[in-house]
Structure 1
Amino acid sequence: MTAGLMPWPGVDDDKDAAREDGGPGNAGRDPSGPSAGSLYERLARAVDAVDAPDVVFAVSRSGLRTVYCGGGTPHPAVPREDLRYEIGSASKTFTGLLLARLIERGLLTGGEPAAAWLDPGRRTGATSATLAHLVTHTAGLPTLPADFYRRALPAWRTNPYGRYPAERVVDAFLRHRPRHRPGTRWRYSNFGVAVLGHALAAATGTAWEDLLGTHVLRPLGLGGTALRPEDPKTDAVGHGKDGRTPTLAFDSGGFEAAGAVRATPHDLLTFLEAHLDPAGSPLAGALGAVRTPVLRRGLGHRHVHTMAWFRHPTDGGPLYFHSGATLGQQAFLGFRPDTGTALAALCTRRFRARDTFIATAYGLLADQ
């Protein structure tokens, strides 16, 4: 793994970067042509394959949007495509973009030790976990704090994260002693990205919600995106693994940066379309940065990551994606620059085994 050179060492490019700029894969595409009908049919099949009360598959291809909705319950009063869905860990793509934006504006470099902002009197050194380590899951932190499960257990089936507030996240980080030097190993960590959010808020003197709104949501015109429930009529209701039992609205507690975002399908497509065409966005530099690979890991270094996305190769170019889940909802976000395609898939059921939702969404995007 190349993460020891953080922040932002980059990795050697290879064939999966073909047509990274959109290139010939977008040239001459006619979204209104014969493929449009087949796309609609494929979306219908994808929705039918997911057994959930509400399902939405939304695709943008060369700027043309196609949305197909369904589910096992009667149509809600508000159309499914207009509801706001919890996207769980896919929120980390917003956090990565925010950090990239702050770096682009010269407010941060990414190499600052997080503890320097969270505990200004603390001594930090070359082995301290930096903002770059946190966003790339290389800070040496576990998935969740050691005492998280003990505190969350009484509300495990309702809202476990809500029992672990911001001050506990920060305190757990400052007390943690990693087994491995930051930057040497990759381990997916909700804990780490949550700490990153608090560090960014401390570094800028701005509350997390205001920080994300100022630098990401408003510049991209994401008026249908929020960090907490706003209206029971327009917030999608999640369901447990049986697909029938409603769950409470997700309370992220101190893990806002790791999983608090909830958004409409169209807002998510707007967010993804900005990644497809960074040059046309007010966040052009930051959007370009989050498409850039920063580390490889695993056998043969086959797993490639940016500061916001997982990145897989296809025959035409890279596919970027991130999934997420709360207690009662799931989300899949992804885009392919080579074909100009973005996909936002959402459902109001938490699958815990044989997850057809993620497999269906990923397969649909990979075949575009």
Structure 2
Amino acid sequence: MTARQEARPAADGPPHRDDGEKALLLAEAARTIEAPGLVLALSDRNRRTYWLDGGGRPDDAPRYELGSASKPFTGLLLAALVAAGRVRYEDRAAELLAPGHPVHPSVRAITLRHLITHTSGLPGLPADFYPQALPRWSTAPYSRYPADRVVRAFLRARPRHRPGTRWHYSNFAVSVLGHTLAAATGTPWETLLQREVLGPLGLHGTRLRPGPPPGDAVGHRRDGTPLPALDTGGFPAAGAVRAAPPDLLTFLEAHLPEASAPTPALAAAFTDVRRPLLRRGPGHAHTHTLTWFRHPSPRGPVCFHAGATLGQQMFLGFRPDTGTAVAAMCARRVHRTDPFVATVHALLTERL
């Protein structure tokens, strides 16, 4: 299989590698990953290179489910709304969602910043999510847990830790953030994201609801059995985005410091989401921005986020110091023994 190059206006400075070297690196990485529908997409100072399973043109590639890699979109939306003066990071979610509703003191203290940075003290999912999800765990676990139930679960929650004191990854928290932004602006989350982020960035092929193949990729179990499209129920802000490789590179390229943002609010938002906010990981060696994991590398910090749905896998990452971005996706959820995430992370941090 050969990689495809796509010339775009180049940023200032020489390219890191020539096109042939980049194509070879993508092909070598692809050989280590055994998954259907694999796509590796690289932007190096706005010059794009793709490796696609089965060949074809990047513009003809389907949309993939981003899963948790949707969260950078929600974080960018929050930052843009803050920059526009429509909300503040320190606004309390419960007061925006249900003014005057009695809540636990720790819930009352949870801010929008706590929700997006996974420091709210909320669990990964509501306690009552699992009994209703287990009968549909491998096909549609979120589908019967709607938005109003997510909000009710938040208002009656008892956080495990005082907000702002510990990091704990939470789909629940980011979903609450989406509903809170909708309540604060009087605009549905999907409309808000489209108006403030997707539209201005020109991500016209990106969707927030599933569509039929071939426009949308079909996910698979490990044995190759196809799976239905993901229904996120009341958790869209945590995992509902669907996008094709070119749109994902456009999204990542917009995060690079030399990029020109289409609006003043987005210009301020990109600065905010690149800035490290807290330390986490072994020895607190890794930092976290408003919405990206941020790890050191030999050529400067790497910002990234992975995602998985029932039958698809995603990795998004960029290096602000070198103008490099990588999007990788496949149509099968990988497991701990699979090299997908490790291979793509190493490609971005060590090879490019």
Structure 2 unaligned blocks of 5 or more: 1-10
1:160 maps to what in 2?
Answer: 141
1:139–1:182 CA contact under 8 A, matched in 2: yes
TM-score by length of 2: 0.91
CA separation of 1:186/1:235 partners in 2, compared to 1, >3 Å: closer, same or farther? same
1:310–1:320 CA contact under 8 A, matched in 2: yes
2:4 maps to what in 1?
Answer: none
- Structure with the greater relative contact order (CA < 8 A, sep ≥ 6): 1 or 2? 1
Superimposed CA distance per residue, residues 30-63 of structure 1 (whole angstroms, 9 cap, x where no aligned partner)? 36xx632111011112222211111000000011
CA separation of 1:198/1:98 partners in 2, compared to 1, >3 Å: closer, same or farther? same
- Cα distance between partner residues in 2 of 1:327 and 1:300: 32
1:83 maps to what in 2?
Answer: 62
- Cα distance between partner residues in 1 of 2:138 and 2:102: 40
1:12 maps to what in 2?
Answer: none
Shift of 1:81: 5.3
1:56–1:81 CA contact under 8 A, matched in 2: no
1:56–1:68 CA contact under 8 A, matched in 2: yes
Matched to 1:138, the amino acid is T
- Cα distance between partner residues in 1 of 2:160 and 2:229: 35
Superimposed CA distance per residue, residues 220-248 of structure 1 (whole angstroms, 9 cap, x where no aligned partner)? 00001011113422100001122x11010
- Cα distance between partner residues in 2 of 1:141 and 1:159: 23
Matched to 2:65, the amino acid is E
CA separation of 1:54/1:139 partners in 2, compared to 1, >3 Å: closer, same or farther? same
Alignment root-mean-square deviation, CA: 1.8
- Kindly indicate whether residue 213 of structure 2 is the aligned counterpart of residue 228 of structure 1: no
- Kindly indicate whether residue 287 of structure 2 is the aligned counterpart of residue 307 of structure 1: no
1:108 maps to what in 2?
Answer: 87
- Aligned-partner SS, 1:285: helix
1:69–1:81 CA contact under 8 A, matched in 2: no
- Cα distance between partner residues in 2 of 1:30 and 1:197: 39
- Of residues 200, 206, 218 in structure 2, which corresponds to 1:237? 218
1:321–1:334 CA contact under 8 A, matched in 2: yes
1:153–1:160 CA contact under 8 A, matched in 2: yes
Superimposed CA distance per residue, residues 146-182 of structure 1 (whole angstroms, 9 cap, x where no aligned partner)? 1111010111111101121111111111111113211
- Aligned-partner SS, 1:160: coil
2:66–2:314 CA contact under 8 A, matched in 1: yes
Shift of 1:123: 5.4
Equivalent positions of 1:78-157 (< 5 A) are 82-122=61-101, 128-157=109-138
2:158 maps to what in 1?
Answer: 177
- Kindly indicate whether residue 243 of structure 2 is the aligned counterpart of residue 263 of structure 1: yes
- Cα distance between partner residues in 2 of 1:295 and 1:241: 36
The runs of 4+ residues in structure 1 deviating greater than 4 Å are 78-81, 123-127
- Cα distance between partner residues in 2 of 1:162 and 1:294: 33
2:20 maps to what in 1?
Answer: 37
- Kindly indicate whether residue 232 of structure 2 is the aligned counterpart of residue 247 of structure 1: no
- Of residues 320, 323, 329 in structure 1, which corresponds to 2:312? 329
Superimposed CA distance per residue, residues 321-363 of structure 1 (whole angstroms, 9 cap, x where no aligned partner)? 0000000000000001222100000000011231311011101
Q: How many residues align structurally?
A: 336
- Aligned-partner SS, 1:163: coil
- Aligned-partner SS, 2:326: strand
Matched to 1:145, the amino acid is P
- Cα distance between partner residues in 2 of 1:97 and 1:361: 23
- Cα distance between partner residues in 2 of 1:223 and 1:186: 34
- Of residues 304, 327, 338 in structure 1, which corresponds to 2:321? 338
TM-score by length of 1: 0.87
- Cα distance between partner residues in 1 of 2:129 and 2:98: 21
- Cα distance between partner residues in 2 of 1:93 and 1:357: 20
- Aligned-partner SS, 1:225: coil
- Cα distance between partner residues in 1 of 2:76 and 2:279: 19
1:46–1:361 CA contact under 8 A, matched in 2: yes
- Cα distance between partner residues in 1 of 2:188 and 2:182: 5
- Aligned-partner SS, 2:142: helix
- Of residues 271, 276, 280 in structure 1, which corresponds to 2:256? 276
Structure 1 unaligned blocks of 5 or more: 1-25
Shift of 1:277: 3.5
> 308-317 vs 182-191, which deviates more?
308-317
- Cα distance between partner residues in 2 of 1:79 and 1:111: 41
- Kindly indicate whether residue 194 of structure 2 is the aligned counterpart of residue 209 of structure 1: no
